[in-house]
Amino acid sequence: MKILITGGAGYIGATIASACLDAGHTPVILDDLSTGRRAHVTGRIFYCGSIADSDLIRRIVADHSDIEAVIHCAARIIVPESIDDPLGYYDANVADSIRLLRALHYAGLTRIVFSSTAALYAGNDGGGIAEDAPLRPLSPYARSKGMVERVLEDAAGAGELRAISLRYFNPIGVDPSFRSGPTCDRPTHVLGMLQRAAEEGAPFTVTGVDWPTRDGSGLRDFIHVWDLALAHVRAVERFDSVVTSDAPYRVLNLGTGAGTTVRELAAMFIDESHAPLRVVDGPRRAGDTAGAYAAVDRAQSLLAWNAERTVRDGIRSALEWRRRVNSPAD
């Protein structure tokens, strides 16, 4: 199967492309390289440009008339940046996605798998969250993802496309073959911040220690990015059985079904890295929640998929990626 992957030079998109290749599929990658890495698309079918460029979409479809599905990962994803630049985020994530979807519709590409986020959920009690849980996105980034979900749902209801929205929890780790990895030099996710603190000899601050969790720190569902990528492969392979004429739009959680607190993650990181990292307590940040873990019954049932790798697997692969990046001659 040939699959168009937007954002396929980024951390998650490139990993999905590798999983597609390993499963015998052919990814066609569209990325503007604003954050993605050219090295991630070496040897792959690649188009450099914007998802909003309808002429480019037409050219891609003309060159590859056998594309059967689209995985839409392209987006701006930095939460603090979205708070400072909400118009930029709504333009890039919502307006450009609508332009993409219109071009895909005109081209007859109607199978869409969308990269969404668990940041849509309220997540205020540290418990499990199913797909029908209340939504309370707290940033322009999260709200932009929710807006695209609504666009997809409405378009699917009108018969213009069919779509699966995959709500990611907290991806960590890298491709087991180390073909790609994180692209952000100043990460804002917790494992990246642990790595940065260790490399800089700075303390790591646990923001908020009075949450209703087992140790007071926030709780997250850390899913290995390779498990996440394999779920996308299953989504395109099983697309026609997951979304039907009676149910043209589906939302699926992607997580492990178990939570890890920030304190627990920090302890595992220190154990795996042997870094003399000092962990300190800090106040809650505006917009933070206790967090939650995914209820994954729907993904397990519809995709015949389950997360198999552990949090420690993710930490170890992330550490090895950083070692390789910092010592490219090895």
Active-site residue list = 141
Q: Is 159 exposed, middle or buried (0-12, 13-18, 19+ CB in 10 A)?
A: exposed
Parallel/antiparallel/unpaired status of strands 260-261 and 219-220? antiparallel
Two tokens at 2?
């040939």
d(C-alpha 130, C-alpha 134), whole Å: 9
SS3 of residue 19 by DSSP: helix
d(C-alpha 6, C-alpha 29), whole Å: 6
CA-based nearest residue to 2, from 53, 64, 72: 64
d(C-alpha 175, C-alpha 314), whole Å: 10
CA distances from 99 to 4, 56, 215, 222, 276 (A): 16, 12, 45, 32, 49
* Residue that has been written with the tokens 């100043």 in this structure: 186
CA-based nearest residue to 131, from 298, 247, 291, 290: 298
Q: Is 328 exposed, middle or buried (0-12, 13-18, 19+ CB in 10 A)?
A: exposed
d(C-alpha 200, C-alpha 155), whole Å: 48
CA-based nearest residue to 289, from 187, 219, 214: 219
Residue 55 is which amino acid? D
d(C-alpha 161, C-alpha 60), whole Å: 19
d(C-alpha 262, C-alpha 64), whole Å: 45
Residue 35 is which amino acid? T
